[in-house]
């Protein structure tokens, strides 16, 4: 639940492959495609990963009861994210959380990536959208495994949603798992999913001041990928200025420029992905 915007108050989250039945008392019970044992305890203390933030941290004027609710909800999310992170570490899986506004080209970049790197490394995708399975179908057309999460009225993925999706997709050991978050530059930045790194995608068809308008998103990311570079000559977007803005809020962020259509910059993107896998192998 997102207390800041209330998006999940009426959310009906659906994960592909799950089955649900209603008990006599009205309780809804979800079942995945298979049962499994969790290599962890469900109740444990935890430390928040670096760079993770809570809604309450940004809302100093929030009533005490709202802050308490936000803290409890985000603590629950963090515990689940820590469980996801433990599973990824045990299996050598590199999970990458891709975040952006709608229409930035995340799915197109993933389709090109899956096509170009097919056979080089195992890859799978968790797709987050409010409705439809269109993006998951595009991913599966490449031959890669994909599972769709529909968040209904929700505007972001949460760790528990990913945990449920992992039951369906069962990513291979020592693989890349791309998590394509719901298109939104606000709430996804605040919810740890257990990922290895966060990638913020910005297209040249947007404004080059986005890093200043949405600083929490760019501050939380390790990499900014500017997409649709083939359109750069035709739009009023200053790529260098956008990168300066990103570094002004996050001095350590790395910036890449790519075009999924022309192939510009994809070698650098693929090199970064390979490096992430190598780092995990030696962790």
Instruction: With beta carbons less than 8 A apart as the criterion, state whether 93 and 177 touch.
Output: yes
pLDDT above 50 for 172? yes
Least confident stretch, 60-64, 77-81, 267-271: 60-64
Of residues 90, 80, 162, the one with CA closest to residue 126: 162
**In the structure, what pLDDT confidence band is assigned to residue 282 with cuts at 50, 70 and 90?**
confident
Dihedral of CA atoms 118, 123, 128, 134 in degrees, nearest 10, equals 30
Instruction: With beta carbons less than 8 A apart as the criterion, state whether 182 and 188 touch.
Output: yes
Task: Look up the domain containing 198 and give its range.
Answer: 79-281
In a domain, 147, yes or no: yes
Can you give the pLDDT at residue 157? Answer: 93
State the CATH number of the domain containing residue 169: 3.40.50.300
CA-to-CA distance for 224 and 198, rounded, in angstroms? 9
**In the structure, what pLDDT confidence band is assigned to residue 1 with cuts at 50, 70 and 90?**
very low
Can you give the pLDDT at residue 185? Answer: 95
Into how many domains does the chain fold?
A: 1
In a domain, 115, yes or no: yes
**In the structure, what pLDDT confidence band is assigned to residue 35 with cuts at 50, 70 and 90?**
very low
> Each residue of 190-243: pLDDT tens digit?
899 999 999 999 999 999 999 999 999 999 999 999 999 999 999 999 999 999
In a domain, 256, yes or no: yes
In a domain, 46, yes or no: no
Instruction: With beta carbons less than 8 A apart as the criterion, state whether 92 and 122 touch.
Output: no
The Cα-based distances of 158 to 18, 190, 230, 264, 270 in angstroms read: 17, 10, 33, 33, 27
Angle ∠(119,124,128) on CA atoms, nearest 5 = 150
In a domain, 268, yes or no: yes
> Each residue of 127-171: pLDDT tens digit?
999 898 999 999 999 999 999 999 887 789 999 999 999 999 999
Least confident stretch, 50-59, 174-183, 257-266: 50-59
In a domain, 67, yes or no: no
Can you give the pLDDT at residue 173? Answer: 96
Q: For residues 259-279, give the mean pLDDT.
A: 97
In a domain, 109, yes or no: yes
Dihedral of CA atoms 210, 214, 216, 218 in degrees, nearest 10, equals -10
The Cα-based distances of 137 to 34, 133, 150, 279, 282 in angstroms read: 22, 6, 13, 31, 34
- Other beta carbons within 10 Å of 212: 14
Can you give the pLDDT at residue 152? Answer: 85
pLDDT above 90 for 255? yes
- Other beta carbons within 10 Å of 12: 10
pLDDT above 90 for 89? yes
Q: Which helix (H) or strand (E) holds 223?
A: strand 223-227
Question: Would you call 32 helix, strand, or coil by DSSP?
Answer: coil
Q: For residues 67-82, give the mean pLDDT.
A: 82
In a domain, 55, yes or no: no
CA-to-CA distance for 143 and 104, rounded, in angstroms? 23
pLDDT above 50 for 42? no
CA-to-CA distance for 257 and 201, rounded, in angstroms? 10
Is the whole model's pTM more than 0.85, yes or no?
no
């Amino acid at each position: 639940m997102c207390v800041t915007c209330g998006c999940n108050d009426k959310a009906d989250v659906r994960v592909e492959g799950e089955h649900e039945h209603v008990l006599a008392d009205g309780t809804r019970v979800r079942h995945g495609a298979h049962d499994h044992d969790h290599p962890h305890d469900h109740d444990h203390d935890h430390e928040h990963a670096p760079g993770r933030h809570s809604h309450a941290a940004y809302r100093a004027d929030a009533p005490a009861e709202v802050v308490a609710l936000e803290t409890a909800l985000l603590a629950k999310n963090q515990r689940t994210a820590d469980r996801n992170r433990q599973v990824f570490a045990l299996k050598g899986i590199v999970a990458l959380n891709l975040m952006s506004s709608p229409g930035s080209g995340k799915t197109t970049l993933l389709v090109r990536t899956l096509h170009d790197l097919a056979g080089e490394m195992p890859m799978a995708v968790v797709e987050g959208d409010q409705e439809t399975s269109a993006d998951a179908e595009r991913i599966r057309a490449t031959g890669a495994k994909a599972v769709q999460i529909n968040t209904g009225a929700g505007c972001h993925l949460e760790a528990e949603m990913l945990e449920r999706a992992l039951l369906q997709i069962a990513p291979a050991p020592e693989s890349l798992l791309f998590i394509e978050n719901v298109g939104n530059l606000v709430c996804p930045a605040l919810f740890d999913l257990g990922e290895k790194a966060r990638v913020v995608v910005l297209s040249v068809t947007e404004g080059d001041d986005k890093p200043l308008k949405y600083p929490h998103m760019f501050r939380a990311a390790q990499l900014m990928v500017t997409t649709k570079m083939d359109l750069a000559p035709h739009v009023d977007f200053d790529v260098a200025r956008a990168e300066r803005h990103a570094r002004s809020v996050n001095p350590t962020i790395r910036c890449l420029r790519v075009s999924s259509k022309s192939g510009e910059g994809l070698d650098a993107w693929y090199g970064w992905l390979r490096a992430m896998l190598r780092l995990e192998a030696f962790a």
